[in-house]
Amino acid sequence: MRAPQFHPSASTGLPARVTIYEVGARDGLQNERTVVPAATKAEFIRRLIAAGLTTVETTSFVNPAWVPQLADAAEVLAVLGPEGTARNRPVLVPNERGLDRALASRVQAIAIFGSATETFAQRNLGRSIAESVEMFRPVVDRAKGAGLWVRAYVSMCFGDPWEGDVPIAQVVDAARRLMDLGCDELSLGDTIGVATTGQVRDLLDALDTAGMPRGQVAVHFHDTYGQALANTLAALSDGVTIVDSSAGGLGGCPYAKSATGNLATEDLVWALHGAGVQTGVDLEALVRTSAWMAGQLGRPAASRVVTALAADLDAEIKPEPPR
């Protein structure tokens, strides 16, 4: 594999270091058609950690009837042992029943997931935004009481397939209600991938005005319209330092023909290392991990860096055609 050549620049306006919150094992695999064996999931997570990803969301304790792909959450964590339940290995938890299961697996960090729109709250959680906040209240109370770290996702922050535009004030309100429960971190989700860069900055500015500490804010972009990396860099140039991404770009929407899902961790790392931003990630090890996982799933990785560099495994230099 040809080592990437980067040209660090002082003129990027990006933070010196970015924390990648790796979602491939959860948000990625939950949206794959193939159900991956627990041992393979555990191996995937181990390899992600070995590649330098410090923060890895491991699995989900939602009702297995909703997400059969992750019905083996407890088994995956059992196979992983203490490495899978460290404080920077959150698991998704929808309610107290999920929290019970997570605590039984000895996790030290959880993530809850709310919505910025009433329609998606109803469709995804079966209740209103206000009702979902009340559902999460005892979850966060008990989790914090047990010393756990808690993240709050907010979906549909930049557009909703049923409601269309989502007013910024509505997103700020949904975010504040979840953070007021006592959460440690907020992840702003562009669930349908429609956001553009100015909109990202506008929401971040509004959260600033609302008094939300920038250090607690993460961004979570989907690449449905090809905007994920551009939006992420816009957020980083606006002071965000935590980015959600998915190894190999895992997590295509099963309802669309395209494989465009989450921002690919490798494409993000390429951009960041090229700009001299530290991530702690060994890109080559990560590419090998995602290429291996793509093989397990029986399809190519969505990440463009994985496609480009994995091809270089066999050829030191790949000539381009005249153009």
Site for a second copy in 119-178 (CB under 8 A): 123-124, 155, 158-159, 161-162, 164-165
> Active-site residue among 74, 206, 253, 308?
253
Q: Binding to a second copy (CB under 8 A): which residues in 216-245? A: 223-227, 229-230, 233
Q: Looking at 195, 217, 247, 294, which residue binds a second copy (CB under 8 A)? A: 195
11 binding a second copy? (CB under 8 A): yes
Interface segment toward a second copy; rule CB under 8 A; list 40-48, 78-86, 97-105, 302-310: 302-310
Task: Give dist(CA 86, CA 73) in Å, integer.
Answer: 15
- 149-155 and 91-92: which strand pairing? unpaired
Task: Give dist(CA 57, CA 45) in Å, integer.
Answer: 9
Beta strands in the chain (DSSP E): 19-22, 55-56, 59-60, 91-92, 109-115, 149-155, 185-190, 217-221, 242-245
Is 253 a catalytic site residue? yes
Task: Give dist(CA 174, CA 257) in Å, integer.
Answer: 31
Q: 66 or 146: whose CB is closer to a second copy? A: 66
Kindly tell me the number of DSSP H helices and DSSP E strands found in the chain.
12, 9
Q: Looking at 59, 246, 290, 303, which residue binds a second copy (CB under 8 A)? A: 303
102 binding a second copy? (CB under 8 A): no
Q: 78 or 308: whose CB is closer to a second copy? A: 308
205 binding a second copy? (CB under 8 A): yes
Q: Looking at 68, 213, 254, 280, which residue binds a second copy (CB under 8 A)? A: 254
Closest CA to 93 of 112, 65, 79: 112
Residues designated as active site: 253
